[in-house]
Amino acid sequence: MERLPAFLRVLLENARDLAPLLAVVAFFQGAVLREAPPELAQKLGGAVLVVLGLTFFVRGLSMSLFPLGEGLADTFARRGNLLLLLAFAFAIGFGSTVAEPALHAVTLQAGEAAAAAGLVAGGEEGVARYALVLRYAASVAVGLAVVLGCLRIVLGWPAVWLLLGGYALVTALALAAETPLLGVAFDAGAAATSAINIPLIAALGIGLASVIRGRRPLVDGFGLVALASLMTMLAVLLGALLAG
Amino acid sequence: MGILLDTAWATLLDAAPIALVILVFQGAVLRRWPAHLREVLTGAAYLLLGLALFRLGLEWSLLPIGSHLSDRLAALGGAGEGAAAWHRFGWLYAFVATLGFATTLVEPALIAIAERVREMTGGAVRPWPLRLVVAGGVALGLLLGTLRIVTGFPLAWSLAGLVGVIAALVALAPRQAVPLAFDCGGFATSVVTVPMVAAFAVGVAAAIPGRDPLTDGFGVILFALLSPVASVLAYAALLSRTPRSRGTGGPHAV
C-alpha cells in the first residue's frame, strides 16, 4: 500500500504532460474551427487510457527492459567473448524491429508508393511481398547498426564520426539518385525505432559503456538508436535504388 | 473489453520475437537468469499492459483528432481562388507546431530515458528542460516538414540543409553531448509522433493542389527526427557558453 502515493504522483505528472495536448486540440477545435469534435466521450476516454498506459509503460520499463538490457550487456562484457556479444547485439536489433507495428505500416505504404511509381509489378501480392522484403531489410539494418554500435563502444571510437559520416552518405545518395521512395526511406528510418527497441538498445549501450573500463555511459553509451535509424534509411534507400 | 484484449494480444505478438531472443540468450547461452526475476517479469507485464492501453488510447483520441483537424485546417488554406500560396496555411503551421510540441511531451521512450539520464548524471541533467528542448525541436521540425509539403521544396536538399546545420552545431556543442543529442531524435519519433504524422501528412498532401499524397506525404518524420538533434546540440552549446549555469543542468554536465 505504501507504493500507492508514488503511483498516484506519477499518474498526476503524466496527466500534466498530457495537458498541453488537450489545450492545443481544444484551442483549434473551439477557437479556430468553432465546432465540437465528433464522438467526444470516446476521445476523452482515450485520453484517460493514454495517461494510464503511459504510467504503466514507464514504470514497467524501469523495472524490466532497463535492468535486463544493462544486465545482459554487463554479463556479456564480463564473459569477454566479443563474437557472442555481437551475435546478441544483432539478435536484439533484428528481433525488436521485425515486429514493430509502425515499421509494418510504413513498409506497406512504401510498397504502394513503389507500385504507383511502376517499380513493383504483380498487384497487391507484389506490394505485400515488397513490403515484407523491406521490413526484413530494415530489421537486418537495425541488427547491423546495433552490432556496429557495440563494436564502436568496445573499440572506443567516437560516435559522432559514424553518425555524421552516415548522414553525409545518405545525403549524397539522396542528391545523386532520383527515386520516388526517398521520403519513404526516411520515414522508415524513424519508424524502425519505437517503444520497445529504443529502451532496450539504449540500455544495451549504456550497460556496455558502464562496464568497459575507460568508457563513460553518457558519452559512449548513447548513439545506438540514431545509428539504427540511419542504417534503416540507408538499407531502404539502397533497396529502392537497386529496384529502380 | 474485446478491443482491449485485441490490442493487448497485438502488443504481445509485437514483443514475442524480442522475448524469445532474451530467453534464448539468458537460458541457453548464458545459462543464467537475471537477478530479481520476479520484479523483471512484473515490469514486463506492466510494460505490455501500458503499451496496449497507450496505443488503444491513441487510436481513440489523438490519431482521429489529429488527422481531422489537420485536414480541416489544410482545406481552410487550400480553398479559394488561384494557386495555393504557402502563406495561406497559417493555422495549419500553428497547429502542427503546437501539436508536435505537445505530443513529444507524452512520448514514453523520451520520458523514461530522460529520467535514466538524470540518474546517470546524478541529477546534473534534469529531465524536464531536456524534454522541453526536444519538444521544441520536434515542433520546429513538423513546421518545416509541413512547409516543405506546401512549397514542394525537394526532400534531398532539405536533408542536406538539416545535416549541414547539425554538422555546424556539432562543432559548437561540447563533445560529450553529441551522442545523446543524436539519440534524442529517435526517442522523440516513437509511438506517438510517427503514427500522428503518418495520419496527417498524407491528408495535408491530398488537400493541397498540385501535391501527390503518395510521394509528398512522406518525409515529414525526417524533419521531426533531425531537428531535435539540432535543438539539443544548440541547447548544449548555449549551456556550455554560460558559465553561471554550469552544473545546474544540460547535457554538457557529465
Domain boundary among A66, A90, A119: A66
Mean pLDDT, range A42-46, rounded to an integer: 89
Question: Inter-chain contact A52–B50, Cβ cutoff 8 Å?
Answer: yes
CA distance B245 to chain A (A): 20
Answer for the pair A102, A85: CB distance below 8 angstroms, yes or no: no
Q: Within this chain, do residues A152 and A191 fall inside the same structural domain, yes or no? A: yes
Q: What is the rounded distance in angstroms from the CA atom of residue A18 to the CA atom of residue A7?
A: 17
Residue A129, chain B, CB below 8 Å: the answer is no
Angle B165-B166-B167 (CA atoms, 0-180°, nearest 5)? 90
Residue A108, chain B, CB below 8 Å: the answer is no
Amino acid at B34: P
Average pLDDT score over chain B: 86
* A residues 43..72 contacting B (CB < 8 A): 43-68, 71-72
CA distance B66 to chain A (A): 8
Q: Within this chain, do residues A60 and A128 fall inside the same structural domain, yes or no? A: no
- Determine the pLDDT at residue A122: 72
Q: Within this chain, do residues A52 and A150 fall inside the same structural domain, yes or no? A: no
Amino acid at A192: A
Answer for the pair A142, A232: CB distance below 8 angstroms, yes or no: yes
Q: What is the rounded distance in angstroms from the CA atom of residue A14 to the CA atom of residue B54?
A: 12
- Determine the pLDDT at residue B183: 95
Domain boundary among A66, A91, A117: A66
DSSP A28: I
Question: Which of B47, B179, B192 lies closest to B105, judged by CA?
Answer: B192
Q: Per-residue pLDDT tens for B67-82?
A: 888 888 888 776 555 5
Mean pLDDT, range B146-167, rounded to an integer: 92
Q: Within this chain, do residues A105 and A216 fall inside the same structural domain, yes or no? A: yes
- Determine the pLDDT at residue B253: 46
Contacts 24+ apart (CB under 8 A), B113-116: B113/A198, B113/A199, B113/A202, B113/B183, B113/B187, B115/A58, B115/A62, B116/A62, B116/A66, B116/A202, B116/A206
Q: For testing the chain A interface, which of B42, B58, B103, B222 should be mutated: the one with the most A CBs within 10 Å?
A: B222
Q: What is the rounded distance in angstroms from the CA atom of residue B162 to the CA atom of residue B233?
A: 13
Mean pLDDT, range A99-117, rounded to an integer: 80
In a domain? residue A179? yes
Q: Per-residue pLDDT tens for A81-97?
A: 899 999 999 999 999 89
In a domain? residue A144? yes
Q: Within this chain, do residues A98 and A50 fall inside the same structural domain, yes or no? A: no
In a domain? residue A29? yes
> CA torsion sign, B78 to B81 to B85 to B86?
negative
Q: Per-residue pLDDT tens for B16-34?
A: 888 899 888 888 877 777 7
Question: What cell does A26 get?
Answer: 481544444
In a domain? residue A6? yes
In a domain? residue A51? yes
Residue A26, chain B, CB below 8 Å: the answer is no
Question: What cell does A152 get?
Answer: 564502436
Let me know how many helices (H) and strands (E) chain B has, helices first: 11, 0
In a domain? residue A72? no
Mean pLDDT, range B107-125, rounded to an integer: 90
Question: Inter-chain contact B50–A75, Cβ cutoff 8 Å?
Answer: no
Q: Within this chain, do residues A178 and A236 fall inside the same structural domain, yes or no? A: yes
Q: Within this chain, do residues A59 and A117 fall inside the same structural domain, yes or no? A: no
pLDDT exceeds 60 at position B57: yes
Domain boundary among A66, A93, A123: A66
Q: How far is C-alpha A101 from the geometric centre of its chain's CA atoms?
A: 11
Residues counted in chain B: 254
pLDDT exceeds 70 at position B248: no
CB atoms within 10 A of CB A71: 18
Angle A37-A38-A39 (CA atoms, 0-180°, nearest 5)? 115
Mean pLDDT, range B172-182, rounded to an integer: 93
Mean pLDDT, range B218-228, rounded to an integer: 92
Higher pLDDT, A61 or A119: A61
pLDDT exceeds 60 at position A168: yes
Q: Within this chain, do residues A111 and A189 fall inside the same structural domain, yes or no? A: yes
Answer for the pair B113, A198: CB distance below 8 angstroms, yes or no: yes
- Determine the pLDDT at residue B79: 59
How many CB pairs below 8 Å do chains A and B form together? Answer: 352
Number of domains in chain A: 2
CB atoms within 10 A of CB A23: 12
- Determine the pLDDT at residue B80: 53
**What is the span of the domain harbouring residue A24?**
1-66
Mean pLDDT, range A170-183, rounded to an integer: 86
Residue B191, chain A, CB below 8 Å: the answer is yes
Q: Within this chain, do residues A211 and A161 fall inside the same structural domain, yes or no? A: yes
Choose the weakest-confidence range: A2-11, A184-193, B145-154, B187-196.
A2-11
Question: Inter-chain contact B60–A49, Cβ cutoff 8 Å?
Answer: yes
Choose the weakest-confidence range: B127-131, B168-172, B178-182, B204-208.
B204-208
Answer for the pair B186, B221: CB distance below 8 angstroms, yes or no: no
Relative orientation angle of helices B90-105 and B62-78, to the nearest 10 degrees? 160
In a domain? residue A120? yes
Mean pLDDT, range A154-165, rounded to an integer: 92
In a domain? residue A167? yes
Q: Within this chain, do residues A91 and A34 fall inside the same structural domain, yes or no? A: no
Q: Within this chain, do residues A45 and A86 fall inside the same structural domain, yes or no? A: no
DSSP B245: G
Answer for the pair B204, B217: CB distance below 8 angstroms, yes or no: yes
Q: Within this chain, do residues A22 and A118 fall inside the same structural domain, yes or no? A: no
Mean pLDDT, range B77-90, rounded to an integer: 66
Q: Which of B35, B42, B50 sits opposite A71 (nearest CB)?
A: B35
* A residues 174..193 contacting B (CB < 8 A): 174-175, 180, 182-184, 186-187, 189-191, 193
